[in-house]
Amino acid sequence: MPFWSRPQRPAAYAEQALVSAILDGTYPPGSTLPGERTLAQELGVTRPTLREALQRLERDGWITIAHGKPTLVNDYWTAGGLNVLSGIVRSGNHLPPGFTSKLLEVRLALAPAYTHAAVARAASTVAACLAGHTALPDDPHAFAAFDWRLHHTLTVASGNPVYTLILNGFYGLYQQVAHIYFAPAQARATSRAFYAALLGAAQRTDAAEAERVTREVMRESIELWKRATHDA
């Protein structure tokens, strides 16, 4: 029987514990969950609390509840939505293989677009954010903080708040991954060159060049991450 620690917020605890159990393979897609009585005992919660958690999981696409039948664990990649993505991010210790590389591929699709829009709409704001990049300490934590601030500034300056909402949803994972990503000197050197190139584009209000250099560094970041972590 799995070991569960006692919850502080029972329904939220039960929901996250079950998400972690799905992600770590305790209850893989295609399997069924134990009955309510057994599962409630394993989790250390009441059955009404468990039902609340299960209803949330069904709403988000993790499971399918059918009256009179065992609860089915869904293939969350095909049945889930943005809340499943958030659940995966919160369960940082149980990320599916290759998840971070896939996330970087999504960033490759989004970052050039919001950078183009940011430079086109608010080049001076982008330039101001980048102005201090030359004084950035050669330290992974400093680069992680600076890089987050830059991309947050770019999404806000783009004028499309959906970009910012998406980025903010990954804050915790972003910090965790960035500290690993920026550990090698090559990754820091690549980003430092990117900051200089993007600053030049912003100073010229050259949105097309800003988009190009962003796409280039996003592609390179995927390869750097895969080489550093073997996360293919």
pLDDT averaged per 10 residues in sequence order, the chain, 232 residues = 58 92 93 95 94 94 92 92 80 74 90 98 98 93 95 98 91 84 92 97 98 96 84 59
pTM over the 0.75 mark = yes
The reply to whether CATH 1.20.120.530 applies to domain 99-229 is yes
- Give pLDDT, residue 231: 63
- Domain borders along the chain are 10-80, 99-229
Contact 174, 92 (CB under 8 A): no
CB count within 10 Å of CB 77 equals 12
- Give pLDDT, residue 96: 77
- Give pLDDT, residue 98: 80
Fold of 10-80: Arc Repressor Mutant, subunit A (1.10.10)
